[in-house]
Chain A
């Protein structure tokens, strides 16, 4: 076996191990189903909506918040226009006639964390959430979150289940499958006590959390990830409320997608460095022993597999072109043999790859069931044909940026 293939087998082994581990966790503790129960008490809740140039989507975002099934006097919506250059502020002012809505305008400081801290300092809610201005919440999402805080006093922050809002083109369809897979593994991370990110769309915090560990940090433009890392390092519990559904707009062009994911991937690398003391440290439980090491390994091995595949494909094509030129043999060979099983690839790698894909499909199916997502053939075709091709782009770019310590700003 050639040395290059050993790296691919190692990648497949780790991917399979990770999926098997998560599936064991699933069968150990299956996600509960949504109930019609109401919370015993309705705490004061503040939702921060930081926005920068989000005029087209801000309206529907705020309307979805106003439609939340929650006592109006207990819910305040804080829109923070973070120095937009479009008419986001004017759009926000359309909602000021709602007593729940407050609008602020501040100068942009280059990253979202400052807008969140700005809002945090101007609200009183017992629970504080945030919602990106391109995401929309299900009417009962807040009730589900409040119920969880009520039933589990140890939980200091919760993340919702995120779905892609009306995916249309192939990139959005691909991300719809990816987010559905994410619903599964985030729930399993919850089972393991190892959630690694509190995403911008509708994550919630107890206010007391900020008194204990401070507010948001710039953290390489991934303040949501850094907050989760910091909470894990303090042994503070994060939960995933899979019954709280949030719909988010995702990048529809390759450029925007690569920019967004480069920021996320870079954030992971940089935050991993800042919290390196947690790696393989049993003190931090499954977060230190599984999620962080596997995340970093997956990052490195995905780049390796992409490089290996690209190298082999390029070698094959170039050699073929060279051989055709050197031999004078036409590209089209006369058909000489029938297609027989003998010539079908039955390499071990094929079977292992099939196993990894099957486990991925099972995980996606579970995620789909948890969140009630309907996925069709075109979703799966987009995911399985595209993701492996585009993901290396942002992984490579994030690695490059990290190595060069290049500052790219918020980007999207």
Chain B
């Protein structure tokens, strides 16, 4: 047989291998980027915790004016979502990053609760959102769209999203403390310290559920 058939096969395979390698390098860079962001957030949280412990009496105005952590966590959530799409939800590195992200969320949540107790004027609005991408939550994507929209509209709203099935003991403790029961149907969420709410809610229903949203500044004029 003409050797050209073989040479063409080698060259084509080499081009495919190069494409695979380049795509993998980009994905590795993404992982490194996420890890660096997580480390930065971790340092920020530690710094805030230390500041909190050192002062005992916080400069509440400074915290109100500086919602850095919220922005960083939102950005991290978005990046993790992209990594999950590219590498798959079962990828070991993605799972590891998600665990670290969940821990950071829990720490931020605890810290914000403590700060809000000290700073009476500071009234954070937060949502603990429990989703699943294991095939047992048909409405989670839609619920995610609603929360993404709310988060983008109200930068001060803190949405902590957790993969309900993530194997993380701190998450299991949070689930137990907030009395989340997946048997009642995911998605589930907790607004501030209220009782858990189950099932999909439209944007309008969410606005009714969270009247505190009116106290938050919007990134653009609220449309509804």
Chain B binder among A37-45, A164-172, A265-273, A335-343: A335-343
Q: Is A328 an interface residue (CB 8 A)?
A: yes
B220 with A329: CB separation less than 8 A? no
Select one of B23, B145, B149, B204 contacting A351, CB under 8 A.
Answer: B23
A26 to chain B, nearest CB (A): 11
A237 smallest CB distance to B (angstroms): 17
* SS class, residues of chain B in contact with chain A: helix
Contact B142 A20 (CB under 8 A): no
B203 at interface by CB-CB < 8 Å: yes
Assess whether A334 is interfacial by the CB under 8 Å rule: yes
How many angstroms from the CA of A108 to the CA of B145 in the assembled complex? 64
Flag if A323 contacts B142 (CB, 8 Å): yes
Does any Cβ of B come within 8 Å of A25's Cβ?
A: yes
The answer to whether A346 touches B4, judged by C-beta atoms less than 8 angstroms apart, is no
Residue of B nearest to A28 (CB): B4
Which of A25, A347, A355 touches B15 (beta carbons < 8 Å)? A355
Q: List A contacts of B22 (CB < 8 A).
A: 346, 348, 351
Bound-complex Cα distance A266 to B44 (A): 67
Is A21 on the interface with B (CB-CB < 8 A)?
A: yes
* Nearest neighbor of B143 in chain A, beta-carbon distance: A327
Contacting pair B19 A352 (CB below 8 A)? yes
Contacts of B204 in A (CB 8 A): 328
> Are B8 and A17 closer than 8 Å at their CB atoms?
yes
A13 to B16, CA, bound (A): 8
Interface check B35, CB cutoff 8 A: no
Determine if A329 and B149 form an interchain contact, defined as CB atoms under 8 angstroms apart: yes
Bound Cα distance A351, B19 (Å): 5
Assembly CA distance A289 to B75 (angstroms): 53
Q: Which residues of B contact A296 (CB under 8 A)?
A: none
* B 15-58 contacts with A by CB, 8 A: 15-16, 18-20, 22-23, 26-27, 30, 33
**From A1, which residue of chain B is reached at the shortest CB distance?**
B88
How many angstroms from the CA of A12 to the CA of B107 in the assembled complex?
Answer: 47
Q: Report the count of interface residues on A (CB-CB < 8 A).
A: 32
B146 is an interface residue with CB less than 8 A from chain A: yes
Pick from B1, B78, B142, B151: contact of A327, CB under 8 Å? B142
User: How far is B86's CA from A16's CA once the two chains are assembled, in angstroms?
Assistant: 24
Contact B4 A323 (CB under 8 A): no
Flag whether B141 is at the interface (Cβ < 8 A). Answer: yes
**Residues in chain A near residue B218, CB distance under 8 A:** 334
Q: Does B96 contact A (CB under 8 A)?
A: no
Total residues of chain B contacting the partner, CB 8 A: 45
Q: Does any Cβ of B come within 8 Å of A24's Cβ?
A: yes
The answer to the question of B91 belonging to the interface, with a C-beta cut-off of 8 Å to chain A, is no
With A20-B11, A21-B8, A342-B33 as known contacts, state yes or no: A329 contacts B23, CB within 8 Å.
no
Interface residues in B96-135 by Cβ distance below 8 A to A read none
Contacting residues, chain A, for B145 (C-beta < 8 A): 323, 327, 329
**Is the Cβ of B4 less than 8 Å from the Cβ of A24?**
yes
Residues on the A chain within 8 Å of B33, using CB = 342
Does the CB pair B5–A343 fall under 8 Å?
no
The answer, among B8, B16, B203, B224, for a CB contact under 8 Å with A352, is B16
Which of A24, A290, A334 interacts with B7 by CB under 8 Å?
A24
B216 CB, min distance to chain A CBs, angstroms: 13
Within the complex, the shortest CB–CB distance from B57 to chain A, in Å, comes to 34
Which residues of A lie under 8 Å from residue B202 when comparing CB positions? 326-328
- The reply to whether the CB of A286 lies closer than 8 angstroms to some CB of chain B is yes
Residue numbers in A under 8 Å from B63 (CB-CB): none
How far apart are B1's CB and chain A's nearest CB, in angstroms? Answer: 8
In Å, the complex CA distance between A20 and B8 comes to: 6
Given contacts A333-B152, A336-B151, contact A323 B23 (CB under 8 A): no
Check B2 for interface membership: any CB of A closer than 8 A: yes
| Pair A328/B19 contact, Cβ less than 8 Å | no
Output the least CB separation between B13 and chain A (Å): 9
Q: Which of A13-32 contact B (CB under 8 A)?
A: 13, 16-17, 20-21, 24-25, 28
Tell me if B75 and A337 are in contact (CB < 8 A): yes
Q: Distance (Å) between the CB of B23 and the closest chain A CB?
A: 4
A residues in contact (CB < 8 Å) with B: 13, 16-17, 20-21, 24-25, 28, 282, 286, 289-290, 323, 326-330, 333-337, 342-343, 346-348, 350-352, 355
7 contacts between A and B (CB under 8 A): A17-B8, A21-B5, A327-B146, A336-B219, A342-B79, A351-B18, A351-B23
Q: Please name 19 further chain A to chain B contacts, defined as beta carbons within 8 Å, in addition to the given A329-B145, A342-B79, A343-B78, sorted by A numbering.
A: A21-B5, A289-B1, A289-B5, A323-B142, A326-B142, A328-B203, A329-B149, A329-B203, A330-B149, A334-B149, A334-B219, A336-B219, A342-B30, A342-B33, A342-B82, A343-B82, A346-B22, A348-B23, A352-B15
